């Protein structure tokens, strides 16, 4: 959905600029920014999940080594 927000937002922004509709342009900018934020949140969640899994695996392998 974040990619869709970015593209729809950019389209609204462009349409607003072309027609002189500042409200539509601002709405587009907001929607575009919201899409970018959603993407960054997803990237951060994926990174955190990967780090958690790596730490969990490291702890598990340490436990296996001590047995």
Verdict on whether the full-model pTM lies above 0.75: no
Tally of structural domains, the chain: 1
- Give the structural domain span for 6: 2-66
Alpha-helical segments (H) within 1-67: 2-19, 22-66
Tens of pLDDT, residue by residue over 6-56, are 999 999 999 999 999 999 999 999 999 999 999 999 999 999 999 999 998
pLDDT for residue 1 is more than 80: no
Provide the pLDDT for residue 64: 65
pLDDT for residue 63 is more than 80: no
What span, in angstroms and rounded, lies between the C-alpha atoms of 38 and 30? 12
Provide the pLDDT for residue 65: 63
pLDDT for residue 67 is more than 60: no
């Amino acid at each position: 959905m974040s990619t869709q927000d970015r593209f729809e937002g950019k389209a609204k922004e462009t349409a607003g600029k072309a027609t002189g509709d500042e409200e539509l342009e601002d709405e587009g900018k907001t929607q575009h920014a919201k899409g970018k934020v959603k993407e960054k949140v997803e990237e951060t969640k994926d990174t955190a999940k990967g780090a958690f899994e790596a730490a969990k695996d490291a702890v598990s392998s340490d436990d296996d080594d001590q047995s």
